[in-house]
A and B are shown apart, each in its own frame.
Chain A
Amino acid sequence: MTLESNVPSGPLAHKWSKYKQEQKLVNPANKRKFEVLIVGSGLAGASAAATLAELGYNVKCFCFQDSPRRAHSIAAQGGINAAKNYRNDGDSIYRLFYDTIKGGDFRAREGNVHRLAEVSVNIIDQCVAQGVPFAREYGGLLDNRSFGGAQVSRTFYARGQTGQQLLLGAYQALSRQIGLGTVKMYPRTEMLDLVLINGEAKGIVVRDLITGAISSHGGDAVVLATGGYGNVFYLSTNAQGCNVTATYRAYKKGAYFANPCYTQIHPTCIPVSGDHQSKLTLMSESLRNDGRVWVPKTAGDTRLPQDIPEGDRDYYLERKYPSYGNLAPRDIASRAAKEACDNGLGVGPGGRGVYLDFSDAIKRLGEDKIRERYGNLFEMYERITGENAYQRPMRIYPAVHYTMGGLWVDYNLMSNIPGLFVLGEANFSDHGANRLGASALMQGLADGYFVLPYTIANHFASTKQHKPSTDAAEFKEAEQEVEARIKKLLSINGKRTVNDFHRELGKLVWDKCGMARNDAGLKEALARIPALREEFWENVNVLGDAEALNPALERAGRVADFMEFAELLCLDALHRKESCGGHFREEYQTEDGEAQRNDEEFSYVAAWGYSGVGNAPVLNKEPLVYEEVHMTQRSYK
Chain B
Amino acid sequence: MAEQRSPGTVPTPRRLLERLPSITVLGPFVALLLAVLFFSAQSDRFLSGQNFSLILQQVLVVGVLAIGQTLVILTGGIDLSVGFVMALGTMVMTKFAVELGLPPLLSVLCGVAVTTGFGFLNGLLITRVKLPPFIVTLGTMNIAFALTQIYSKAQTVTGLPDALLFWGNTFRLGETVITYGVVLMIALYLLVWFLLSETAPGRHLYAVGNNPEAARLMGIPTQRVLLLTYTVAGLFYGIAGWLLVSRTSVGDPNAGQTENLETITAVVLGGTSLFGGRGMILGTLLGAIIVGVFRNGLTLTGVSSVYQVLITGVLVILAVTADQLSKRRG
Q: Do A and B bind each other?
A: no
Chain B positions within 8 Å of A, measured between CB atoms, are none
